Amino acid sequence: APERAAPAVKTTCPYCGVGCGVLATPDGQGGVAIAGDPEHPSNFGRLCSKGSALGETVDLQDRLLTPMLDGQAVSWEGALGAVAGGLKKIAEKHGPDSIAFYLSGQLLTEDYYVANKLAKGFLGTPHVDTNSRLCMSSAVAAHRRAFGADTVPGCYEDLDEADLIVLVGSNAAWCHPILFRRMIDARTARGTKIVTVDPRRTQTGEEADLHLGLKPGSDTALFSGLLTHLADAAKLDRCFIDEHTAGFDGALERARQIAPTVAATARATGLAEAEVQAFFDLFAETPRVVTAFSQGANQSAQGTDKGNAIINCHLATGRIGRPGMGPLSLTGQPNAMGGREVGGLANMLAAHMHFAPEEVDRVRRFWNAPNIITGEGMKAVALFEAIEKGKIKALWVIGTNPIVSMPRADRIREALAGLDLYVVSEAVATSDSARVRGRKTVLLPALAWGEKDGTVTNSERRISRQRAFLRAPGQARADWAILCDVARRLGHGAAFAYPNAAAIFREHAALSAFENDGTRDFDLGGLAEIGERAYDAHLPMQWPVPKRGPEARKGRPRLFADGRFYTFDQRARFVAVQPPALAQAVTEAHPLVLNTGRIRDHWHTMTRTGKSQRLSAHRAVPFVEIHPDDAARHRIADGGFARVTTELGSAILEVMVTDGIRPGSIFAPMHWSDMTSSNGRAAALARGIPDPVSGQPELKATPAAIEAV
């Protein structure tokens, strides 16, 4: 029966980490009119091209609407029985750590929480990781090294109040567009200067006051040079360093070794001395600086050091936790932060707790968990390698498409076929990852945006509601409900008897506050008793939201203003970073550096944005950017097609000749898959050597060759 037209529902955009508020007005026929929510403090009514086109993506074409077992439609009873029975058998035969989960920053916090609890507390496998590993796990690791916790110090308001915004590895104009508009507004209102640090001169670089097109991977040299310069120019905040930090001397000594002078910094980064000097002077002379960093810094085999090299400069000048100042990690996905909060990364347990014995014991008691894990699991790259080696026998993928987004994806596709049990919770029947077959394969139809109900956390720690405004189609169900049904079949029903998403959120909030005397950053104690109505009406709010004190029930925009951090002595840590070096050097056979990234109008593997003709028109086919000198050398013409080859395979891409890219580098977007373009995949060409600290794979610098076709 047709739905009745209804009033606008306040919800949150499902794409990037800006987390814009959306007003969705169902038309009663399954469609919806979309507008920005003028009351949402992250976007104040604005939406970018992707958000504005959400109404064009809610049709049911290609949706997975029925559970499937080995290619045949089955009842939920049959599918859940196959999943629970398969997991039980595999755990008994090979041990619970032969089971793995691969989750997603697209999941709602409630889904994420239940998956993590089931795996780490009840099944007893530590091998739970998420596609957020590919997104910002290096920022997480940098925060933990510097602050003692994965705490984002500042907020979007800081961009409004900054006099200098430094964007590192971020094409914010395309990838965080509404936030970038805010930066441009700040420039109009107060003359804020914008500096971009990126080997590519993207749209963001075009609009910047200063663009630093540095050599791939040389970010730590630039920020080491800056730290040296700040010391030599007597621009340090000695009081802050002495009273609130540790490790400064070691970090400065290392910075001097890496980049002792402006000239040495210029050599190490491939920049002109005048550019380096201009940046250093701007940073040194401008108290209100925000340095926002994103995938260009994170998706690197040295991503954690890049984050810490940036944070070092903010700590050295005491520019943190105050209006208009601080490092700001821009997360890619709508709920990358929520995943971090519940412990969706393999190196976390839950509620920002890790694996100290007292933390494990605390979570065990809170969950009453019979099989709590006691140590870290495998991070994404290692996890998929373990599947290749046959060590993982069962994999449950929820809300992500690793066959397109993971490095070495072709090898992964082959490896999945060897799984004894491959479970995919998906909204899209035709996604590449839903089309792979293990020895036994179960597809579970999941609710999509507009149908599901829960919370997400954006880049500034702001928790917003995603609300349902469309009827659940076919037999699709909420991810948390599917997980709970499996838990019940495994004999853990009592711990997973949630009547609704609000009950899960309450438990998640209560865990964050459980035995939390203020020494843990993530605290939602003020929301631990939230009722259904209050949850439904929940306003966007930045954690921490403790039960008592000035932030009770309203949250806190900034942390560390008091100079107290989450280390045991409450001092922040400087980090002596390693000299920059690419994990894989170019060779004669592969003389170019392949960088992968995103474009303005598509989101990840295009399973949603690909439905919109308007969005697809912006860039209709997968392409490669190449510098005119390299194009001439390789006899490649603009508008023609070229084969890009790495040690892992090749892709055929349309050629875009541009001087926005450095000589010696090429760029290809990561969105296209075998489903959307034959031979157009780019991420699959990367080996993805992981950062030794964060485990985040290198996706920005893969040796590659190019030839015309």
Q: How far is the CB of 594 from ligand SF4 (least distance, A)?
A: 25
Residues from 390 through 449 that contact ligand SF4 (CB under 6 A): none
Tell me the C-alpha distance between 16 and 333, whole Å.
Answer: 5
Site stretch for ligand SF4 (CB under 6 A), options 11-19, 253-261, 487-495, 652-660: 11-19
Confirm or reject binding of residue 482 to ligand SF4 (CB under 6 A): no
CA-based nearest residue to 593, from 668, 653, 684, 651: 668
CB of 36: closest distance to ligand SF4 in angstroms?
Answer: 7
Q: Which is nearer to ligand SF4, 156 or 672 (CB)?
A: 156
Q: How far is CA 516 from CA 362, 444, 510, 522, in A?
A: 10, 37, 10, 9
Q: Is 177 in the site for ligand SF4 (CB under 6 A)?
A: yes
Q: Which is nearer to ligand SF4, 47 or 222 (CB)?
A: 47
**With CB under 6 A as the contact rule, which of the stretches 10-18, 317-325, 420-428, 530-538 interacts with ligand SF4?**
10-18
Minimum CB distance to ligand SF4 smaller for 15 or for 101 = 15
Interface residues for ligand SF4 in 26-45 (CB under 6 A)?
A: 43
Taking CB under 6 A as the criterion, the residue among 9, 10, 11, 18 binding ligand SF4 is: 18
| H-helix segments, 122-237 | 137-147, 157-161, 172-175, 177-190, 203-207, 219-232
Binder to ligand SF4 among 9, 11, 13, 684 (CB under 6 A)? 13
CB of 14 to ligand SF4, least distance (A): 7
Q: Strand 623-626 and strand 649-657: pairing?
A: parallel
Binding mask 44-73 for ligand SF4 (x = CB under 6 A): ---xx-xx----------------------
Q: Virtual CA dihedral for 233, 238, 240, 245, nearest 10 degrees?
A: 100
622: region left, alpha or beta (phi > 0 left; psi from -120 to 50 alpha): beta
Q: What is the CA radius of gyration of the chain?
A: 24
Sign of the C-alpha dihedral computed for residues 82, 85, 90 and 95 taken in this order: positive
Q: Which candidate, 81, 185, 686, places its Cα nearest to that of 405?
A: 686
Size of site (CB under 6 A) for ligand SF4: 14
**Pattern 234-273, binding to ligand SF4, x per CB under 6 A?**
----------------------------------------
Backbone φ and ψ for 132, nearest 5 degrees, come out as -65, -20
User: Looking at beta carbons only, is 50 or 288 nearer to ligand SF4?
Assistant: 50
Least distance to ligand SF4 from the beta carbon of 22, Å? 7
3-state helix, strand, coil split of the chain in percent (to 5) is 35, 20, 45
Binding mask 277-296 for ligand SF4 (x = CB under 6 A): --------------------
**Least CB distance to ligand SF4 at residue 156 (A):** 11
Q: Which is nearer to ligand SF4, 40 or 229 (CB)?
A: 40
21 touching ligand SF4, by CB under 6 A: no
15 binds ligand SF4 (CB under 6 A): yes
Q: Which CB, 293 or 514, lies closer to ligand SF4?
A: 293
Instruction: Mark the segment that binds ligand SF4 (CB under 6 A) among 75-83, 175-183, 196-204, 302-310.
Output: 175-183
Instruction: Assess 16 for contact with ligand SF4 (CB under 6 A).
Output: yes
DSSP three-state, residue 525: helix
Long-range CB contacts for residues 547-552, cutoff 8 Å, separation at least 24: 547/513, 551/526, 552/526
Interface pick for ligand SF4 out of 9, 10, 11, 19 (rule CB under 6 A): 19
Per DSSP, the three-state class of 481 is: helix
Bridge partners of 293, per DSSP, are 168, 329
Measured at the alpha carbon of residue 173, what is the angle toward residues 597 and 269, in degrees to the nearest 5? 60
One residue of 68, 178, 266, 360 binding ligand SF4 per CB under 6 A: 178
What one-character DSSP code corresponds to residue 594? E
Stretch that binds ligand SF4, among 176-184, 226-234, 346-354, 477-485 (CB under 6 A): 176-184
Residue with tokens 């079949």: 489
Q: Based on CB atoms, which residue is closest to ligand SF4, 308 or 405? A: 405
DSSP codes of every residue in 382-396: HHHHHHHTT---EEE
Among 9, 20, 582, 701, binds ligand SF4 (CB under 6 A): 20
Gap between the Cα atoms of 117 and 140, Å rounded: 21
Q: Does 23 bind ligand SF4 (CB under 6 A)?
A: no
Q: Which residue has the tokens 């550019």?
A: 275
Residue of minimal CB distance from ligand SF4? 51
Binding stretches for ligand SF4 (CB under 6 A): 13, 15-16, 18-20, 43, 47-48, 50-51, 176-178
